[in-house]
Amino acid sequence: QPSVAVSAAEGGTGPRDWRSAVPDPDLTATEVVELQLQALQDNDPGIAKAFEFASPQNREATGPLSRFSTMLRVGYPILLNSACFSVLSALRVSDKVYVVRVEVRGGQEQKSLQECFLWQLTTTDEGWMTSAVLQDQPPQDEDGVEVSQED
């Protein structure tokens, strides 16, 4: 069972049931990121939920769901089945854009790795939705040493 470490940065509330969550204007940008990261800890069903919280432009660029799933498995494997994550900071860039910085610790397949990501969210009629996820720093082992992802 993965653990979740979250902060209350910019309105985050910590763990909640991601399975029943839907995009909602009442969710903060940080809560959307937390929900997506919790969902991705459950792999396949979570990938579909994360895709549901992607902005329409993001879904158009990364979809359909099968393509989005492959993109996560190949480009962001640490997000799947992670051991835990932490929201490090959240910054409202404008009325319509938020950036949330998170640290993710790998699960079974990537157990000693940790990586930081920037989640960019835009507001829509449905609330905050993810428009991009970018690697913030290279993967590191538990001692903070950069790790190559190439085999």
User: For 47-56, b where at least 16 C-beta lie within 10 A, e where not — what string?
Assistant: bebbbbbbbe
Structure-block tokens of residue 1: 């069972």
Instruction: Name the strand (E) or helix (H) holding 143.
Output: none
pLDDT in tens, 26-76: 999 999 999 999 999 998 899 999 999 999 999 999 999 999 999 999 999
pLDDT in tens, 93-137: 999 999 999 999 988 777 778 899 999 999 999 999 999 999 997
Q: In whole angstroms, what separates CA 9 from the centre of its chain?
A: 15
**pLDDT above 90 for 5:** no
Could you give the percent of the chain with pLDDT greater than 70?
A: 81
Is the bond leading into 77 cis (omega within 30 degrees of zero)?
no
pLDDT in tens, 132-151: 999 997 666 667 677 665 54
Whole-number pLDDT of residue 139 = 60
